[in-house]
């Protein structure tokens, strides 16, 4: 997925790392993507840039796309991050400059590690299923791993943690001793929790991580806060358990990780450490160098927006 905002401000990863548990609702912001898809952006938000290394969270659908193109995101570049494609309904066809051609289906992990440079496109295949529902997430790469070669991984069968009324798929990192096969470069967790109506749980957490929960569907109560679909609750650090109560059949994305300490510049589809790195990446994409070529997408590649007039500055966690 791409940030298609034509006039992106210099978004900065690195929110305030709280010491201890909090319950902050993060309001979604509607943003148009390619095709007929409108997403609700939850990270970065006004008050918070990151949860662990998670620095970008879009939630979309469920949308009826039977008579629509669905998702159509033309070839665009990435640098310094991983993208996680996660679906509950429908499918997304991923193409990238490594030559990958992969349909990602519900509850399968599509994990693209950009390293220093990659480009990709994402589209609803033709024909496609009636309903499209999913999330697109980015993970910032730490300095020691951000210049690596790009890779794409597809993991159709993720490990699960189960209890009565709870079925959790571990998307990235480790939950309750169960680890995803997806390659992670920081202490992190992403998990999809399916909850049966009426069930109550105490999900084990790492007290050194910060966490947030996004409701994908259903009505839940998380540490006493009622959440509706599309709502995200930031939970802070210092928790050993997360109290969950499902008021209906529901599903949640649990995102967490060690608070990310590096200063970052996040602009358009790039994460770097300096203005010059970002400007170089933008130039390279516009000159069709470094980011490779995506073959087979029926349409033109995206152009990068203009850089803002003032230099982009690396920012820490405090706004």
Tokens of 280: 């170089």
**Residues near Mn ion (CB under 5 A):** 1-2
* Residue 41 phi, psi (nearest 5): -90, 125
CB of 83 to Mn ion, least distance (A): 5
The residues pairing with 172 across neighbouring beta strands, listed in sequence order, are 190
**Shortest separation between residue 269's beta carbon and Mn ion, angstroms:** 6
Do the Cβ atoms of 26 and 212 come closer than 8 Å? Answer: yes
Q: Would you say 236 and 20 are in contact if contact means Cβ atoms under 8 Å apart?
A: yes
Work out how close the CB of 205 gets to Mn ion at its nearest, in angstroms, rounded to a whole number. 29
Locate tokens 């997430």: which residue?
A: 137
Q: How far is CA 252 from the centre of its chain?
A: 14
Do the beta carbons of residue 52 and residue 209 sit within 8 Å? yes
DSSP state string for 236-304: ES--SEEEEEESSSEEEEEEEESPP-S-BEEETTEEESSHHHHHHHHHHHHTT-SS----S-SSPPPPP
- Closest CB to Mn ion among residues 110, 218: 110
Nearer to Mn ion among residue 110 and residue 173 (C-beta): 110
Minimal distance, residue 71 CB to Mn ion, in Å:
11
Query: CB-wise, 2 or 231, nearer to Mn ion?
Result: 2
User: CA-to-CA distance for 310 and 251, rounded, in angstroms?
Assistant: 42
Nearer to Mn ion, 88 or 95 (CB): 95
Q: Considering the complex, what minimum distance in angstroms separates the CB of residue 214 from Mn ion? A: 19
**What minimum distance in Å lies between the beta carbon of 157 and Mn ion?**
24
Q: Which of 112, 235 has the CB closer to Mn ion? A: 112
**Residue 158 DSSP class:** -
Q: Which is nearer to Mn ion, 1 or 132 (CB)?
A: 1
Helix (H), strand (E) counts: the chain: 1, 25
Of the candidates 228, 190, 232, 173, which has an alpha carbon nearest to the alpha carbon of residue 15?
232
Which segments of the chain does DSSP mark as H helices, in order?
A: 275-286
Closer residue to Mn ion, CB minimum distance, 1 or 71: 1
Structure tokens at 192: 């999809």
């Amino acid at each position: 997925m791409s940030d298609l905002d034509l006039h992106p401000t210099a978004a900065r990863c690195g929110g305030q790392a709280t010491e201890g548990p909090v319950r902050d609702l993060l309001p979604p912001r509607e943003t148009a993507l390619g095709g007929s898809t409108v997403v609700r952006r939850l990270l970065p938000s006004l008050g918070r840039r990151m949860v662990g290394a998670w620095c970008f969270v879009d939630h979309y659908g469920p949308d009826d796309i039977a008579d629509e193109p669905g998702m159509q995101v033309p070839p665009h570049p990435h640098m310094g991050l991983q993208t996680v494609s996660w679906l509950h309904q429908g499918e997304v066809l991923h193409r990238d400059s490594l030559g990958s051609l992969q349909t990602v289906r519900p509850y399968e992990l599509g994990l693209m590690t950009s390293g220093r440079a990659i480009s990709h496109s994402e589209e609803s295949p033709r024909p496609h299923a009636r309903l499209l529902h999913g999330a697109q997430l980015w993970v910032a790469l730490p300095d020691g791993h951000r210049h690596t070669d790009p890779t794409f991984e597809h993991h159709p069968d993720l490990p699960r943690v189960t209890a009565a009324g709870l079925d959790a798929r571990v998307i990235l990192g480790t939950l309750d001793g169960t680890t995803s096969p997806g390659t992670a470069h920081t202490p992190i967790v992403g998990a999809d929790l399916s909850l049966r109506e009426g069930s109550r749980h105490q999900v084990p957490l790492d007290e050194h991580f910060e966490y947030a929960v996004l409701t994908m569907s259903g009505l839940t109560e998380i540490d006493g806060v009622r959440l509706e679909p599309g709502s995200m609750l930031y939970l802070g650090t210092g928790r050993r358990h997360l109290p969950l109560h499902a008021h209906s059949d529901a599903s949640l994305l649990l995102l967490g990780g060690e608070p990310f300490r590096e200063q970052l510049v996040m602009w358009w589809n790039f994460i770097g450490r300096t203005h010059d790195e970002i400007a170089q990446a933008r130039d390279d994409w516009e000159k069709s160098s470094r980011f490779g070529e995506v073959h087979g997408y029926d349409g033109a590649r995206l152009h990068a927006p203009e850089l803002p007039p003032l230099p982009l500055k690396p920012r820490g966690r405090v706004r």
